[in-house]
Every structure is written in C-alpha cells, then in structure tokens.
Amino acid sequence: MNQVKRLFTKTFAVFIFLTLISSQGFLYAQSSNGEALFKANCASCHKPDEKYVGPALKGARDREPSKDWVYKWIHNTTSMVMTDPYAKKLKDEMGGVVMTEFPDLSNADIDAILQYANDFKPAGTATTTGPGGATSVSATPSSDNTVLYGILTLILAVVGLILLQVNSNLKKLTDEKDGIKSPQPVPFYRNKAYLLLLTIVLFIFAGYFLVEGAMGLGRQQGYQPNQPIYFVHKVHAGVNQISCLYCHGGAQDSKHATIPAVNVCMNCHKAIKEYAGAPIIKEDGTTLDANAEIQKLYKYAGWNPDTKTYDKPGKPIEWIKIHNLPDFVYFNHSQHVKVGRVACQTCHGEIQNMIQVKQFSDLSMGWCVNCHRTTNVQFNDDKGNGNKFYSIYEKFHQDIKDKKYDSVTVQMIGGTECGKCHY
Ligand code: HEC
Ligand code: HEC
Ligand code: HEC
Ligand code: HEC
Ligand code: HEC
Ligand code: HEC
C-alpha cells in the first residue's frame, strides 16, 4: 500500500514539474509585468530600441508633448491621429500606418510598459566596425532565444531526474535503517514513474510538432534561399538608396511587384564593374567576393566588360521566389502600395538592411485580416488632397465629417469579406 502511495506521489511530482517546464512559466517568472504586457500587446509593431512598424518605445515619453500625452494616445489613438499635431506627424513618419488603440490598459500598465522599454538592453550589443575602423555591411543580428530556452529546459529536466533518483535512494537508505525491507529493485525501464514520464514527454513533443507542422503547411516565414547571384539589398536599397520602385515598379501599378530583368541591372552595371564599398559580411560570417558576383551578372547578360559590348547571348537570372501565396488567394500590390499607402517595410520588414532577403511575415490569413481590422483607409494623399480611389466611398467621407465615426478601417469597406481575397 505504502509503495503505491509513494509511486503516486512521485508521479504527481514529476507531472507538476513537467507542466512547469513545458509552460516555461518559471523561466519568465522573473520578467516584469511591463515585459509581459509589452509582448502581449505591443511587440507586433514596436521594438523597445529600434524603429519597427511604429517608433522605438525607448525614450518615447521624453519626445512627446507632455508626460500624460501617452495615456490619451493609447486610449484614443484613432481620434488623436486626426486631431493632435504630434500624432499626425508620427503617423506620417510611419508611412500612414495607424496604431491600434488599447482603451482597457490602465495608466499603471502603460507606465510599466514604457519602463520596460526604457530599461531594455539588447541581447548582443555588437558594433559592426571592421578592421581599421572601417564599418562593414552586415545583417542586424536577430535575438532568437528559443534554442537557449530549449537547452535550459533540457538541463533542468535532467537535473530534476537526478534529484528524483537521489531522493528515492535516500528514502531506501532510511527505510533500511528503520528495518523496513526494501522492495525488489525495479530496472529503470520497468519503473512505472519513468515510463509515465517518458510518455508525457513524448506526448508534449509530438503535440507541439503536430500543431506547428499543420499550421505551417505551405508557409515559410523566415525563408531565405541561396540566390544565383549574391545580390545585396543593403548595398542597393540601403547604402546607395536606390528606390524600391526602380527595380520593383510593378508594386505601384500592378498586382505583382515583379523582379527586375537583367537589362535593368545593366543600366548601372555597364559602368559599375567593381565593388568599392564597405566589406559585405555574409550570414555565415565570411566576407563576400562582390566582384565575382558582378562577373556572374555579366555572364548572364552576355556582356564583355573589356570590349564593352554584348558579345554573347544573354540568359535570364533564375531568382528563387521567396514569397508564395497559395493560388486561391488574391493579393494585389498596387491596391496596398498605391491605394492603401502601406509601406513595403510593413509587410516585408527592413529590406534595405537585409544582406539577403528573408520572408518577414507569415502570409497567413490571420495576418491579412488583422491588418484589415486595424488599419484605416487613407482618404487623403500625401499632399492632403482627396485620394481619388475612394470617391466611391463619399458616404464614409460624409459620415466622418458628420462625426459618425473617427475613421474607417479596411474592414468597414469590406476588407474582411471572404470573396475579396478568395476567388
Ligand atoms: C498595429 C501596430 C501597433 C501596435 C499593436 C501598437 N502600436 Fe504603438 N504605434 C504604432 C505606430 C504605427 C505608431 C506611430 C503613430 C502612427 O502612425 O499611428 C505608434 C506610436 C506609439 C507611441 C508614440 C511614440 C513616440 O515616438 O512618441 C507610443 C508611446 C506607442 N505607440 C505605444 C504603444 C504601446 C504601449 C502599445 C501596446 C500596448 C502599442 N503602441 C501597440 C503601431 C502600433
Ligand atoms: C537594384 C534593384 C533592386 C532594388 C533597388 C530593390 N530590390 Fe528587391 N529584389 C531585387 C532582386 C534582383 C530580387 C531577387 C533576388 C533576391 O531575392 O534578393 C529582389 C527581391 C525582393 C523581394 C523578395 C521577392 C520574392 O522572391 O518573394 C522583396 C520582398 C523585395 N525585393 C523588396 C524590396 C524592397 C522593399 C526594396 C526597397 C527597400 C527593394 N526590394 C529594392 C532587386 C531590387
Ligand atoms: C500589404 C502587404 C504588402 C505590401 C505593403 C507590399 N508587399 Fe510585396 N508582397 C506581399 C505579398 C503577400 C507577396 C506574395 C504575393 C504572391 O505570392 O502572390 C509579396 C511579394 C512581393 C515580391 C515578389 C514578387 C511578387 O510580386 O510576387 C516583391 C518583389 C515584393 N513583394 C516587393 C514589394 C515592394 C517593393 C513593396 C513596396 C513598394 C511591397 N512589396 C509592398 C505583401 C506586401
Ligand atoms: C541604379 C543602379 C543599380 C542597379 C539598377 C543595379 N545595381 Fe548593383 N550595384 C549598384 C551600386 C551603386 C553598387 C555598389 C557599388 C560600390 O559600392 O562600389 C552595386 C553593387 C552590386 C553588386 C556587388 C554587391 C552585391 O550586391 O553583391 C552586385 C553583385 C550587383 N550590384 C548586382 C546587381 C544586379 C544583379 C542587379 C539587377 C537585379 C543590380 N545590381 C542592379 C548599382 C545598381
Ligand atoms: C499592413 C496591412 C495590410 C496587410 C498585412 C494586408 N492588407 Fe490588404 N489592405 C490593406 C489596406 C490599407 C487596404 C485598403 C486599400 C483599399 O482600399 O483598396 C487593403 C485592401 C485589400 C483588399 C481590397 C479590399 C476591398 O474591400 O476593396 C484586398 C482584396 C486585400 N487587401 C487583400 C489582402 C490579402 C490577401 C492580404 C494578405 C496576403 C492582405 N490584404 C494583407 C492593408 C493590408
Ligand atoms: C484579407 C484576406 C482574406 C480574407 C478576407 C479571407 N481570407 Fe481565407 N485566406 C487568406 C490567405 C492569405 C490564406 C492562405 C493562408 C496560408 O497559406 O496559410 C487563406 C486561407 C484560407 C483557407 C485555407 C485554410 C488555411 O487556413 O490555410 C480557407 C478555408 C479560408 N481561407 C477561408 C476563408 C473564409 C471562409 C473567409 C471569410 C470568412 C476568408 N477565408 C476570408 C486570406 C483571406
């Protein structure tokens, strides 16, 4: 009887322990309320210390018109954006993206979030200064702690197992001292507690991968294939500030953004045959031989840089497509870029800082729909003139003037109806 009871207690302890680990709750136990609130509500658009969809939150309060401004802002974003000069300026700086409002956050919650942002220190504070003080072009390191947490969890699990073992041995010793005959030792593979533990672990892992796998089918956030030429956006769109539309003009006027043809590259590279910029550090830490990449371009173009003639037949560069929506989804770039005035970076991330393009958003239905719920339709163009695409929505315009609503979201014009995105 005693033995059954002990087995039960032991199993129960193991179970509680595992639940704790798998929720990783105790790892976060130290983190503040501000951090939790930030991660739950704000992290999709803000980073503590750098510009993202919205401005960096570090020091926000010091930039703002008054200490209390932020409470009004977070509780009444949409109306502030229309009336408050500082809010209007912010919105323009952020490419017209409007923040979601949070009427339910208390002032204390907001203080806690801003405090968290002010105290925030980036994980790896590395500077990218190369030998001789020359700055180099490299990707911003991402702070992904998942692996670290995984390892910690594993170590803790092993420690836990050892402790359990020690505990049971001690118990055996005291039992023997008290003259209680210990039961036949059971080999560990027949020990019920361990078998149960193993089952639970397998169950959790299988469940995790099943769910992740099923949800991720056909999705590839973070996808970053090796391209036929090591083309660096940071060099072109970042350092040399070439407009995205110079190469992806389709994004403005058509459904597809399009990838530039070889002759577009050659507009510049007939003249630029050598790379003289800062060293380009690849993701694997080695330095890129940029001139060799320009020579690859010449091979594709059939261009002879010495005679400055096309002396061989050219062939197209077979770029690997990174973003892929399923065929049953309708997505139109010009509708978002030109009409909706959404910045490329809102959907694609900071491409101008990327060494190699990486898929930034998950392109899930939830991603599209959430943005349509929270983003306002832009009734005015850059110069404050009426956006002609919306003349059919005169009614909304009038309603805003009549103060029926502060603003109109994409959802209100039908942006969450199934038929708008599905053929
Ligand atoms: C949907 C994206 C989004 C979410 C979610 C979001 N914000 Fe914002 N936030 C923005 C944008 C964009 C701006 C810039 C103003 C604008 O364009 O509306 C901004 C501006 C701000 C500002 C003003 C910054 C300055 O420089 O003065 C503060 C403060 C702020 N947000 C705090 C928060 C907090 C706190 C949360 C979470 C409770 C939050 N935001 C959630 C997008 C977002
Ligand atoms: C000099 C030409 C050039 C400029 C300027 C340029 N791009 Fe590109 N872009 C390319 C080429 C070539 C590719 C295909 C190779 C690759 O993925 O890097 C590409 C790929 C992309 C992709 C991935 C396409 C896919 O396969 O799904 C995105 C997104 C993108 N660019 C966005 C941008 C944005 C945003 C800007 C401005 C900040 C920009 N590009 C500026 C030439 C350019
Ligand atoms: C509202 C979100 C959104 C915005 C804004 C946006 N894109 Fe895209 N982009 C996408 C999606 C979604 C795809 C995948 C489309 C597909 O597979 O049909 C994509 C694909 C691309 C591609 C691959 C070629 C193609 O057309 O499929 C390029 C290049 C690209 N975008 C560049 C840009 C540039 C440059 C801008 C800004 C001028 C921009 N995008 C703005 C969402 C966006
Ligand atoms: C508007 C002008 C312009 C266009 C168009 C252009 N480039 Fe460039 N490219 C540059 C400049 C400027 C540099 C940097 C030269 C330097 O710093 O010495 C560069 C550098 C490069 C490099 C060396 C660095 C790197 O990215 O690996 C390669 C390779 C390259 N370009 C390929 C391409 C390809 C492929 C295309 C077409 C898709 C293209 N370029 C289109 C202006 C352009
Ligand atoms: C960052 C915000 C954002 C994201 C993400 C986004 N959209 Fe949009 N979308 C907009 C805005 C703003 C408009 C309003 C432009 C307009 O009125 O046509 C819009 C309009 C549309 C419309 C026209 C709706 C109508 O009623 O006329 C369709 C269709 C659409 N989006 C499809 C998509 C799909 C599909 C995705 C995901 C792959 C997506 N959008 C992701 C912001 C977004
Ligand atoms: C704003 C655009 C948008 C709207 C509105 C929309 N969808 Fe989707 N839907 C998508 C995108 C994008 C995907 C592809 C998701 C993926 O690849 O993971 C998708 C995928 C799906 C799928 C395939 C299953 C899945 O999740 O991958 C179904 C079913 C679906 N949508 C049904 C609907 C229904 C029903 C409605 C109306 C209530 C609707 N959708 C409205 C964009 C939209």
> What pLDDT, in 10s, does the model give residues 250-284?
998 899 999 999 999 999 999 999 999 999 998 88
Which has more confidence, 302 or 197? 302
Whether residue 139 is contained in a domain is answered as no
- Predicted confidence at residue 27, as pLDDT, reads 40
Decide which of 313, 342, 362 is a domain's last residue. Answer: 362
Pair (368, 332) in one structural domain: no
Q: Say if 311 falls within a structural domain.
A: yes
Q: Which ligand is nearest to the CA of 253?
A: 3
Does 413 contact ligand 5 (Cβ within 6 A)? yes
The whole-number pLDDT of residue 139 equals 45
Question: Does residue 97 or residue 46 have the better pLDDT?
Answer: 46
Number of compact structural domains in the chain:
4
Is 304 among the domain residues? yes
pLDDT at 133 over 70: no
Ligand 1 neighbourhood includes 345 CB (under 6 angstroms):
no
The closest-lying atom of ligand 5 relative to the alpha carbon of residue 329 is 35
pLDDT higher at 246 or 152: 246
Q: Are residues 152 and 15 in the same domain?
A: yes
Q: Judge if the beta carbon of residue 340 lies within 6 A of ligand 5.
A: yes
76/161 same-domain check: no
Query: pLDDT tens digit string along 187-206?
Result: 667 777 777 778 778 877 76
Q: Could you tell me if residue 132 is inside a domain?
A: no
For ligand 4, whether the C-beta of 137 sits within 6 Å is no
Residue 365 CA, ligand 6 centroid: distance in Å: 5
The answer to whether residues 351 and 253 belong to one domain is yes
CATH of the domain at 47: 1.10.760.10
Backbone dihedral angles phi then psi of residue 263, each to the nearest 5 degrees: -65, -25
Confidence of residue 357 (pLDDT cuts 50, 70, 90): very high
Q: Is residue 300 part of a domain?
A: yes
Q: Is residue 398 part of a domain?
A: yes
Residue where the block lists tokens 């502060």: 406
| High-pLDDT (> 90) share of the chain, % | 37
CA of 345 to the centre of ligand 1 (A): 16
232 and 350 belong to one structural domain? yes
**Span 94-113, mean pLDDT?**
84
**Segments in 178-261 forming alpha helices (H):** 192-216, 233, 244-247, 250-253
CA of 418 from ligand 6 middle (Å) equals: 7
The lowest-confidence range among 52-56, 130-134, 359-363, 391-395 is 130-134
pLDDT mean across residues, the chain: 79
- Residues whose beta carbon lies within 6 Å of some atom of ligand 2: 227, 231, 233, 236-237, 242, 244, 246-248, 259-260, 319, 321-323, 344, 348, 351-352, 357
Distance (angstroms) between ligand 1 centre and the Cα of 94 equals 10
Task: Check pLDDT > 80 for residue 398.
Answer: no
Sign of the torsion angle spanned by Cα atoms 85, 90, 93, 99: negative
Of 42-46, 59-63, 220-224, which has the strongest mean pLDDT? 59-63
**Other Cβ atoms within 10 Å of 46 Cβ, number:** 22
Q: Say yes or no: 234 and 335 in one domain.
A: yes
Do residues 343 and 262 share a domain?
yes
Q: What is the pTM of this model?
A: 0.64
| 416 within a domain of the structure (yes/no) | yes
CA 369 to CA 364: how far, in whole Å? 9
What does the alpha-carbon distance between residue 423 and residue 412 come to, in Å, rounded to a whole number? 20
Q: Give yes or no for a contact between 236 and 275, defined as CB atoms under 8 angstroms apart.
A: no
Structure tokens that stand for 71 in this block? 């409470």
- Measured between alpha carbons, how far is residue 157 from residues 16, 152, 306, 324 in Å? 12, 9, 65, 40
Residues 266, 346: one domain? yes
Nearest by Cα to 340 from 122, 90, 96: 96
- Say whether 28 sits in a helix, a strand or coil: helix
User: Same domain for 208 and 251?
Assistant: no
Whether residues 96 and 155 share a domain: the answer is no
Q: Using the 3D structure, point to which of 121, 136, 160 is the last residue of a domain.
A: 121
* Confidence band of 30 (pLDDT split at 50, 70, 90): very low
Q: What's the domain range around 58?
A: 33-121
State residue 131's pLDDT score. 40
| Residue 411 belongs to some domain of the structure | yes
Q: Is 368 in the pocket of ligand 5 (CB under 6 A)?
A: yes
Write down which residue in 216, 241, 273 finishes a domain.
216
In this structure, the answer to whether residues 151 and 92 fall within a common structural domain is no
Same domain, 211 and 348: no
Say whether 422 sits in a helix, a strand or coil: strand
> Per-residue pLDDT for 59 more than 50?
yes
User: Looking at residue 117, what is its pLDDT?
Assistant: 94
